[in-house]
Amino acid sequence: MAQETRLENEAAQSTNALGPLIGVAREDFVGAVALLLRETASDPKRLMRHAKEMGEDMVKIMTGKSELAPDPKDKRFMDPAWQYNPFFRAGAQYYLAVQKGMRNWLEELELDELERNRANFIANIIIDGLAPTNTLAGNPVAQKQLINSGGLSLIKGLQNAYNDMVHNKGMVSQVDKRPFKLGENIATSKGSVVLRTEMMELVHYAPTTDEVYEIPQLTIPPQINKMYINDLSPDKSVVKYQLDNGIQTFVISWRNPSKEQGVWGMDDYIRSCEEAIEAVSKITGSKKVNVSAGCSGGQTASVLASKLAAEKSDLLGTLTLMVCVLHPKPTDIEAASLVSENGMALARKRAEKAGVIKADDLARGFAWLRPNDLIWNYVINNYLLGMDPPAFDVLFWNADATNLSASLMGDFLTLFETLAFTKKGEVEMAGHKIDLSKVKSDMFILGGVTDHITPWKATYRSTELFGSKDITYVLSQSGHMQAILNPPGNPKAKYYVQKKKGKLPATADEWLQGTEEVAGSWWPFWIEWMQKRSGDKKPAPKEVGNAEYEPLDPAPGLYVVEER
């Protein structure tokens, strides 16, 4: 049970996400390795010195005099055998000697910050792959499991490996999908599709209260993951929480694009968002619509907000952005250091030729950016220990990814390359010049303390981009999707907010100094913030949709189950 919980927690921090990493080409990996080789050859004396030091460590290990020991927090080496069994202790020490030697060598290389991040990133991937725990011969837990099961764990592990080769395109499975069924035990909130186009469905959820607030909310989800992340289970459903607190709730469900639909670009997605927001306004009779979005959906929502401002539309109410980076920097995460202009150009060309980037290719590429959490953990669990991967709703949703159209990928890369959101009217997209300073909506921005995908200090930079006078920033204690899916009832939950009301400081560090820690989920804080900006209460509608937008299929709709 502890093993399963650990896998759930670690993988949930590393869900797929759109960002500059979609522009990483295999040539970028080759270039990073070439950088290491070039620096190695540039100073033979330095190389010899480090080889000598590593050799001395090896001699100490062979003579039993080495004091190298794993980090007590390293979960791979928790078994007592690593401490008391001479064979395993030596195996761990050999690995640690290589790790130490590589780290010391990298520290001496003459690299700038970007090159150093690139070198560290590639080195860590290589070192993680060399860990003795990744093999049956070097993993005492797997050997004990083999003996205790009478060899059945090995047979089950081989079966799991075979199934992955045949049914999972060679990728190790991160989740047991069997217990989950959409509409039955996941995505169960009642509602209907009230608008369907070639690109999207608009889902209107049925009110659960006698009265609702006048101003509704529309959620714009990311384009490579399905919308039911907002309605995973009753105790983890943002949709249900909004409904139970009187918020009229609508969610866009993007269609999984086929090769022929790879021409869908940001202008098409923004057109769909405008169509959806106008439908929400007509259905509810509200002249304003609050918008919420996360990750790449937040970038889409920001383009939408900019366009509505350019058109002098008053339709946008508040804007909530969750775990979304609008002002990226190459040093935000080590993996981003791999991105190069040449690599992005190659990635664009390959995507255009294919029409779409397949969902499984996206997942495979993302997994190799965090191999310890997303590959080796599961190799050990599924193949060496012969156990099923965890049945965890967040991982089920993450594995249910969608294709990415080549045109949209190109537009996201343009946003990254040009830093379009930081400019005022310089970059044209979706039929207008992006200028967030014209967006005056009240804003709520969320970051996650341990978010490795959209680091919280990078999300904080968004507070400086908009023309809004009322911006609230909240820092949740978890990482990426777990920062969002942090409902009331979690005894470990906490968040940070600014003590004094008023203008936010210019930097994340300054903001952090003036915060207070609040125990519990941030959801009640957000809902109260929303309710204050959602108008008066009125009787809840008896049915979803209206005469113009009649209910079609029940929530979560057809596009979430459509295979491509």
Specify whether 295 is catalytic: yes
Beta bridge partners of 316: 289
Same domain, yes or no: 528 and 425: yes
Q: Which parts of the chain register pLDDT below 50?
A: 20
pLDDT for the residue 319: 98
Specify whether 125 is located in the same domain as 228.
no
Answer yes or no: are the C-beta atoms of 473 and 504 closer than 8 Å: yes
Asked if residues 265 and 408 have their Cβ atoms less than 8 Å apart, the reply is yes
492 part of a folded domain: yes
| Residues paired with 474 in a beta bridge | 446
Which pair of structure tokens corresponds to residue 246?
A: 């009187």
The three-state secondary structure class of 473 is: strand
Catalytic residue selected from 154, 186, 202, 295: 295
pLDDT of 274: 98
Q: Is residue 148 part of a domain?
A: no
What contacts 213, CB < 8 A, 6 or more positions away?
246, 247, 248, 531, 534, 535, 536, 537, 538
| Residue 81 placed within a domain | yes
Residue 558, in any domain of the structure: no
Integer-rounded Cα radius of gyration of the chain: 25
pLDDT of residue 334: 65
Residues 459 and 310 in one domain: yes
Q: How much is the pLDDT for 338?
A: 67
| CB count in 10 Å sphere of residue 342 | 11
pLDDT score for 49: 81
Q: Is position 164 within any domain?
A: no
The CATH number of whichever domain residue 527 belongs to comes to 3.40.50.1820
Q: How many domains does the chain have?
A: 2
| Separation of alpha carbons 488 and 493, rounded Å | 8
Which structural domain, as residue segments, surrounds residue 433?
191-327+419-539
Last residue of a domain, one of 112, 140, 168: 140
Structure tokens, 494:
């906490």
Per-position DSSP letters for 36-85, written without gaps between them: HHHHHHH-HHHHHHHHHHHHHHHHHHHTT-------TT-GGG-STHHHH-
In a domain, residue 436? The reply is: yes
Q: Are residues 23 and 87 in the same domain?
A: yes
Q: What pLDDT score was predicted for residue 121? A: 80
Strands (E), 169-301: 191-196, 200-205, 211-213, 217-220, 249-254, 289-294
Residues 244 and 98 reside in one and the same domain? no
H/E run at residue 133: none
Instruction: Specify if 408 maps to a domain.
Output: no
Same-domain pairing of 16 and 122: yes
Cα separation values, 381 from 79, 134, 155, 160, 267, Å: 15, 10, 13, 10, 44
pLDDT, residue 50, reads 73
* In a shared domain, residues 12 and 127: yes
Q: Does residue 275 belong to any structural domain of this protein?
A: yes
Q: What is the pLDDT of residue 362?
A: 78
- For residues 18 and 129, state if they share a domain: yes
Closest CA to 265 of 364, 413, 400: 413
Instruction: Give yes or no: residues 118 and 208 share one domain.
Output: no
> Is the distance from CB of 16 to CB of 370 less than 8 angstroms?
no
pLDDT value at residue 359 = 81
**DSSP letter, residue 234:** G
Q: Are 435 and 303 contained in the same domain?
A: yes
Do 136 and 206 reside in the same domain of the chain?
no
Q: What letter represents residue 327's amino acid?
A: H
Residues 202 and 305 in one domain: yes
